[in-house]
Chain A
Amino acid sequence: MHTVAIADVPELEVRAWRNWVKAELLQGSRPVILYGTRTSETRVALTMVLQRGDGGLDLIRTSVDPTTGYFALSEVAIAMHAFERELHEQFALRLTAHPWLKPLRYEGGTQADMARYPYYKLEGKEVHEVAVGPIHAGVIEPGAFRFMCHGETVHHLEIQLGYQHRGVEALLGRGDPRRHTPLVETIAGDTSVAHAWAHCAALEALAGVALPSEGEIARALMLELERIAMHLAGLTGLAADIGFLQGAATYGRLRTTAINTSMRLCGSRFGRGAIRPGGAGVGLDDGARDAVRDACALLRDHLVAIDALFLEARSVAHRLRGVGRVNRAMATQLGLVGFAARASGVDLDQRRPARGAYAAVPLARTLETTGDCWARARLRITEIAASLGWIEAALAHLAPMPADLAIGALAPATIAIAIAEGWRGEVVHVLETDAAGGLARHKVQDPSLRNWLGLAIAVRDNEISDFPICNKSFDLSYCGHDL
């Protein structure tokens, strides 16, 4: 959570800004987000947010004429590629020497534009291409994949997204931001809680309202239930994709237990309605606490057996070990976030250093080092256990929620940045107000935006038949990316 008056954010002339950001990136500063805000017909304000090792954020702004733009930062730090592609698409910002200036989500584009996606070409006598999508062979969201192969080996995978683009940011820019939470909960429907929390935290910060600790803990409880449920959903899919059906059946069944606990608490299996500006719609009477305790006990008891079976089965290890590997250096370079980063040994988790609910109740650290499908699966198993442990410890701190706090006037000319560590990774909401305290910009970032390129790199030099498990192991959102 970071709130700062726009006047206090250092602003540099665009070339100086670019050089400053470049120097920071080369020294290993981690980019959180770079986004644009239109300030006039001919100017766009660019805000760069970097995160220090202690979790603190540094902001730096510039104002740019989109027709002149600047020399792309992606050229020195590939982790910037998605931000700059977005700026190019949203503001027609000129980015000289961007190595990968391809359409991101076809915001305002047409179907004819989509048909002209500039795929890379691999040429040679024994080279072939495989195109899949946008509709896939399952009940999942759409996106197009093109594999450039030599025999069974994938040399490169290009991922073309944008099919899910609805226009979320346009809608968020209209009307009263206090009433946007139901919409925010559908930015990525499997991450409803993390998005709602980040959105509400940013609004509360702008209104100068601080939630009492029982409110923070209730929100974290919903977030950890969401994490458990979606990690179980991911393990279900992974087990199904490698034909380990006992795992698929059991993890799928246990996900029901997790989401039904969310439903018992807030009326929705996806935690919708659990978090609202200034409060939470979580019922935490004794009966609800007992239901949470019983669900945790059942999950622990049944997971012990199925986890052991999954991790000990030779067939599982054979399919997952060494497949879809992203090493730590590459994960850092690509700017991966969330469990995909932690599986590659990048110790990045917005719940640590602990603040708020996670300071009141500590959370076990989770990390893997091998960066393959096995690491991502194993990490999800340990993260489920860590979240269960957190919930069990938090039960003692759970109390019925006080009445919702009123969200009054928003601080004028201020930027509030809230980051929630969703199950996939960091969910970022940035709210900017104008001089009158009205909403000037609501920027949303789902972790998927940062991680799709990680999947493309993971698949390189792997067999094309292993793509489904690589894809499932990253478990990324299409609509969260496409907005």
Chain B
Amino acid sequence: MTFKLLTLRVRQDQGEQFIKDLRAARPAGFRGLPVIDTTPCATGCDACVTACPTAAITAAPLALDLGACVFCGECARVCPAHKIAMTTEVAMASSARAELVVHEGPARRPPIDVAAAIRKAFGRSLKLRQVSAGGCNACELELNALANVNFDAQRHGIEWVASPRHADGLVLTGPLTKNMQDAVQLAWDAMPDPKFLVAVGACAISGGLYRDAPGLARDFLAKVGPLVFVPGCPPHPLTVAQALLDVMGR
């Protein structure tokens, strides 16, 4: 009896915790997409460039590479002209590496442009195999969160699968360690065509904080170009969800 009551109570507590619209949600307080306004920089000022832990910022004209950014917000904090601001925007993935660079001016959503054939093949059901190659478990936890009751990506046909044999896409996290290079290649080779690669997080996209680390071998990424780049450190599950929905054309 007690047990049944408890079950009932838990069900009642579930309430409506799921996010109804994964595209409209805005996480409160999230340090997301940076924007750079058009105020001119003070002559010779390179405060943001030197503050950046991943060399994501280039000066004159100021530009910030989301593919390297770890969203620490140091640049915004040190800028004397308050030229850089971190917004709560989560949509920032792109199918073109170059489009991840934020320039001066109003926030612009990087495009996700994939072939019609991909949308035709995977638009209703997308099975993904995740492989971490030096990922710190932050990206991995956020990707797992995609399948929890809050984000519930399964409602859109997106699912994590155990075997690469069952996967349409390989979702790679981490800066790609030397010690994982064989395993990553094996997983990729085991996936049936058609297939694609998604690079999730600053580490996977550019090496991020580990770009100069001795333990990396990133040849695989150069060989197999990702279809989509999902920036973040780690990316918010909404950033990933929106990128995948764009790939699927949903």
Contact = CB atoms under 8 A, between A and B. Distances in A.
Interface of A: 106-111, 114, 134-135, 137-142, 162-168, 170-171, 174, 179, 182-183, 186-190, 192, 233, 236, 246, 249-250, 252-253, 255-256, 260, 263-265, 267-270, 272-273, 281, 301-302, 305-306, 308-309, 312-313, 477-479, 482
Interface string B155-197: 0000010110000000000110111111100010000000000
A437 to B, nearest CB: 21
B98 interface: no
A164 B187 contact: no
A138 to B, nearest CB: 7
Contacts, number: 189
B177 A268 contact: no
A411 to B, nearest CB: 25
Interface in B199-228: 203, 209-210, 212-216
Interface residues of B, number: 66
B60 interface: no
Contacts of A110: 178
Contacts of B138: 186, 189-190, 192, 270
Nearest to A479: B136
Nearest to B70: A182
B76 to A, nearest CB: 11
Given A267-B30, A305-B9, A164 B177 contact: yes
Given A183-B209, A188-B137, A302-B13, A260 B27 contact: yes
Contact of B10 (A168, A250, A263): A250
Contacts of B14: 249-250, 253
27 contacts: A106-B179, A111-B181, A135-B187, A137-B162, A140-B132, A141-B137, A163-B179, A164-B133, A165-B177, A165-B215, A166-B213, A179-B53, A182-B70, A182-B74, A186-B203, A189-B136, A190-B141, A236-B148, A250-B13, A253-B17, A253-B150, A256-B17, A265-B29, A267-B86, A269-B30, A272-B70, A309-B3
Contacts of B11: 246
Contacts of B175: 166
A188 B174 CA distance: 12
Contacts of B183: 134-135, 142, 163
Nearest to A268: B31
B30 A134 contact: no
Q: Please indicate which of the listed interface residues B136, B148, B175, B182 has the most CB atoms of chain A within 10 Å of its own CB.
A: B136
B7 interface: yes
Contacts of A170: 213-214
Contacts of A313: 3
B31 A189 contact: no
Contacts of B13: 250, 301-302, 305-306
B234 interface: yes
A111 B213 contact: no
B158 to A, nearest CB: 12
Interface of B: 2-3, 6-7, 9-11, 13-14, 17, 27-31, 53-54, 70-74, 86, 130-145, 148-150, 160, 162-163, 174-175, 177-183, 187, 203, 209-210, 212-216, 233-234, 236
Contacts of B141: 189-190, 233, 270
Contact of A141 (B132, B212, B216): B132
B132 A166 contact: no
A192 B2 CA distance: 40
A249 B6 contact: no
Of all A-B residue pairs in the complex, the 10 with the closest CB atoms, nearest first, are A189-B136, A189-B138, A267-B31, A137-B162, A167-B215, A167-B214, A167-B213, A252-B148, A305-B9, A264-B29
B73 A312 contact: no
A324 B123 CA distance: 44
Q: Please indicate which of the listed interface residues B148, B178, B214 has the most CB atoms of chain A within 10 Å of its own CB.
A: B178
Nearest to B207: A166
Q: Please indicate which of the listed interface residues A187, A256, A260, A482 has the most CB atoms of chain B within 10 Å of its own CB.
A: A256
Contacts of A106: 179
Contact of B136 (A139, A188, A236): A188
A197 B218 CA distance: 31
A184 to B, nearest CB: 10
Given A135-B187, A141-B140, A479-B137, A111 B182 contact: yes
A164 B179 contact: yes
B36 to A, nearest CB: 18
A139 B3 contact: no
B181 A273 contact: no
A401 to B, nearest CB: 14
B145 A272 contact: no
Contacts of A253: 14, 17, 148-150
Contact of B234 (A114, A189, A236): A189
A116 B215 CA distance: 19
A141 B135 contact: yes
Nearest to A112: B182
Given A139-B144, A182-B53, A273 B72 contact: yes
Contacts of B135: 141, 164, 189, 479
Contacts of B177: 163-166
Contacts of B215: 107, 165-167
A108 B216 CA distance: 11
A139 B234 contact: no
Contacts of A302: 10, 13
A263 B132 CA distance: 24
Contacts of A477: 137
Given A139-B130, A182-B209, A260-B27, 19 more contacts: A109-B179, A111-B182, A114-B179, A140-B137, A140-B140, A141-B137, A141-B140, A164-B177, A165-B215, A166-B175, A167-B215, A183-B53, A187-B136, A189-B138, A267-B71, A269-B142, A305-B10, A306-B13, A309-B3
Contacts of A108: 214
Nearest to B208: A186
A256 B150 contact: yes
B173 to A, nearest CB: 9
A255 B141 CA distance: 11
Q: Please indicate which of the listed interface residues B28, B163, B213 has the most CB atoms of chain A within 10 Å of its own CB.
A: B213
B195 to A, nearest CB: 16
